Amino acid sequence: MILEQFDLSGKVAIVTGSSTGLGAGMALGLAEAGADIVGVYNHDAPDNATQIEGLGRRFLGIQADLSTTGPVAGILTKAVEAFGQVDILVNNAGIIRREKALDFSEENWDDVMNVNLKSLFFLSQAAARQFVKQGSGGKIINIASMLSFQGGILVPSYTASKSGVLGLTRLLACEWAPHGINVNAIAPGYMATRNTQPIQDDPVRNEQILARLPAGRWGKPEDMKGVVVFLASDASAYMQGHTIAVDGGWLAR
Ligand code: NAD
């Protein structure tokens, strides 16, 4: 029956950036659908652990700085040691730097590309190697952006990284489909989190965004739950390399 295909009971999901914003919302959604959660966090302590364990799921927090690929192997090792397997990876950790393209620094370029694209690739590779070893397939869900489709302003490395995420999602989907691995992405629109705090606080930009948004409101972390559970579940078995917008109609406008 179709609803049973959405059930994630017995699955183990790694979620990066799981302590805040969209990552916290998705970790909770996956746990509500039955998955145990490996939450990778940087500076923000995993205060959603209690909520996830309250649902009867297991939670393992791993502190790791994904600005380098150094922690990648350890994340997989610790997850497998704790829970015996990994079935789902959500590459959500991401940063943004705002500066005019004419002034943009090399540091702002490298910092963003390292977290948003380089670590995302190598963590996907490590997870896919584990999936192949397990022989049971797996799910990789990358967090893209409206700036996977549009140019934006003042955020050149962010746009480059998120456009890269869309392309890489397609490539990995093609290479790993024969192993039973589904690689897809979610492109959130304007979501009210720390990432967008400066534009929420700017009365002019805030009003412009709300006026253009068919849904008439900013998105919330819980708006990510349904689509992440779908992409993590058997219900999306025939979806490969697609980037789904969860954007209140922003791109449709
Ligand atoms: P956020 O700042 O709350 O979340 C970012 C997460 O990434 C944090 O948990 C942070 O700890 C983690 N992170 C950042 N640098 C890290 C590092 N070096 N090592 C490990 N973890 C690191 O903001 P958010 O809006 O929840 O962002 C989550 C994802 O969604 C990001 O990839 C972001 O680009 C993407 N996104 C957000 C929006 C939006 O409107 N908020 C829109 C499109 C895409």
Q: Sorting pLDDT into bands at 50, 70 and 90, what band is 99?
A: very high
Indicate whether 47 pLDDT > 80.
no
- What is the rounded average pLDDT for all residues in the chain? 97
- Give domain status of residue 185, yes or no: yes
If you write DSSP's letter for every residue of the chain in order, what string do you get? -HHHHT--TT-EEEEETTTSHHHHHHHHHHHHTT-EEEEEESSS--TTHHHHHHTT--EEEEE--TTSSTTHHHHHHHHHHHHS---EEEE---------TTT--HHHHHHHHIIIIIHHHHHHHHHHHHHHHHTS-EEEEEE--GGGTS--SS-HHHHHHHHHHHHHHHHHHHHHGGGTEEEEEEEE-SB-SGGGHHHHH-HHHHHHHHHH-TT-S-B-GGGGHHHHHHHHSGGGTT--S-EEEESTTTTT-
pLDDT, position 167:
99
Pocket test for ligand 1, best of 42, 205, 206 (most atoms within 8 A of CB): 42
Ligand 1 neighbour 44 (Cβ under 6 A): yes
Are the C-beta atoms of 240 and 181 separated by less than 8 Å? no
182 lines ligand 1 (CB under 6 A): no
Q: Is the CB of 123 under 6 A from ligand 1?
A: no
* End-to-end Cα spacing for the chain: 36
Mean pLDDT within 91-95: 98
- pLDDT bin (cut points 50, 70, 90) of residue 95 is very high
State whether the beta carbon of 83 lies less than 6 angstroms from ligand 1. Answer: no
Residue 64 domain-assigned?
yes
pLDDT exceeding 70 applies to what percent of the chain? Answer: 100
The closest alpha carbon to 226, from 188, 174, 182, 183, belongs to 188
What atom of ligand 1 comes closest to residue 65's alpha carbon? 19
- Domain membership of residue 62 (yes or no) is yes
Ligand 1 and 15: CB distance under 6 A: no
C-alpha of residue 18 to centroid of ligand 1, in Å = 9
136 Cα–ligand 1 center, Å = 29
Position with higher pLDDT, 47 vs 65: 65
C-beta 46 within 6 A of ligand 1: no
Atom of ligand 1 nearest to the CA of 146: 43
Both structure tokens of 36: 């145990």
Give the whole-angstrom CA distance, residue 149 versus residue 90.
20
pTM given for the model? 0.98
From the CA of 1, how far away is ligand 1's center (Å)? Answer: 35
The model's pLDDT over 143-159, given as tens digits with 9 standing for 90+, comes to: 999 999 999 999 999 99
Residue 190 annotated among the catalytic residues of the structure: no
What pLDDT shows up at residue 43?
87
Residue 52, in any domain of the structure: yes
Distance from the Cα of residue 250 to its chain's centroid: 19
Dump pLDDT digits (tens) for 28-41.
999 999 999 999 99
Residue 120 lies in a domain: yes
For residue 19, the model assigns a pLDDT of 94
- Structural domain total, the chain: 1
Taking only the tens place, the pLDDT of each residue in 170-214 is 999 999 999 999 999 999 999 999 989 999 999 999 999 999 999
Would you place residue 17 in the very low, low, confident or very high pLDDT band (cuts 50, 70, 90)? very high
Among protein residues, the one whose CA lies closest to atom 22 of ligand 1: 93
CATH code of the domain in which 233 resides: 3.40.50.720
Is the CB–ligand 1 distance for residue 63 below 6 Å? no
CA dist 148 to 130, 196, 207, 215, 253, Å? 28, 16, 23, 20, 16
Q: Which is it for the CA torsion 71, 146, 34, 2, positive or negative?
A: negative
- The verdict on residue 252 lying in a domain is no
Q: 176 CA to middle of ligand 1, Å?
A: 26
Please tell me the distance between residue 2's alpha carbon and the centre of ligand 1 in angstroms: 32
pLDDT at 46 over 80: no
14/39 Cα distance (integer angstroms): 6
Domain limits for position 236: 2-247
So what's the pLDDT on residue 44?
A: 79
- Residue holding tokens 């620094």? 105
Q: Tokens in use for 133?
A: 């070893």
Tokens of 196: 């967008």
Q: Is the pLDDT of residue 110 over 90?
A: yes
Cα distances (angstroms) measured from residue 116 to each of 42, 97, 161, 184, 203: 14, 12, 6, 16, 28
Segment 158-177 shows an average pLDDT of 99
